[in-house]
Amino acid sequence: MCSCKYCGRDIAYNATTCPKCGGQNPCDKCFITTACVDTLGLKDDCYEMTTLRWFRDNYMRSFQEGKSDVNLYYKVAPKIIQAIKNTNTADEEFKSVYNTWIVPSVKYIEKKQYKEAYQHYKDCILHLSNKYNIDLN
């Protein structure tokens, strides 16, 4: 699943047209999905993806700064993916993203440590943007 960038509803990760609103290429590539689904071969509805989606919709989207950060994420994530794919160690980097950022975030959410999960997520975006020289503005 991905969140349609036009209508915000959850649709199939590989959809080329949103079945709900008809938007073209509705899924912005997300490096969390890329790391989990493309690199590690996990399912799009695996535990990690489902947990993070829940967190996005029920915690981050519940306050203004969190909402802005979700939007920022969808803006920079495709650039981060492209930068990682341009290296010759892309698979290792996506696995490292999974172990360093995704797994700990999921653990925080399990323990209902939402502030920590949110901070960890922000650190992740900062770390990867700095590493690959991606402008956050």
Neighbours of 65 (CB within 10 A): 10
Please answer whether residues 69 and 60 qualify as being in contact, where contact means their C-beta atoms are separated by less than 8 angstroms: yes
Q: Select 8 or 47, whichever has its Cβ closest to Zn ion.
A: 8
Subset of residues 15 to 44 that bind Zn ion, contact rule: CB under 5 A: 18, 20-21, 23
Cα angle, residue 46 at apex, residues 62 and 34 outer, rounded to 5°:
80
Choices 6-14, 37-45, 102-110, 127-135 (CB under 5 A): range interacting with Zn ion: 6-14
Closest contact distance (angstroms) between CB of 5 and Zn ion is 8
Please answer whether residues 112 and 51 qualify as being in contact, where contact means their C-beta atoms are separated by less than 8 angstroms: no
- Nearest Cα to 77, choosing from 128, 41, 115? 128
Q: Select 30 or 106, whichever has its Cβ closest to Zn ion.
A: 30
| 7 forms part of the interface with Zn ion (CB under 5 A) | yes
Per-residue binder mask for Zn ion (CB under 5 A), 39-68, x = binder? ------------------------------
Choices 3-11, 52-60, 71-79, 92-100 (CB under 5 A): range interacting with Zn ion: 3-11
Please answer whether residues 4 and 18 qualify as being in contact, where contact means their C-beta atoms are separated by less than 8 angstroms: yes
Q: Find where tokens 């172990």 sit.
A: 99
Question: Which positions lie near Zn ion, rule CB under 5 A?
Answer: 4, 6-7, 18, 20-21, 23
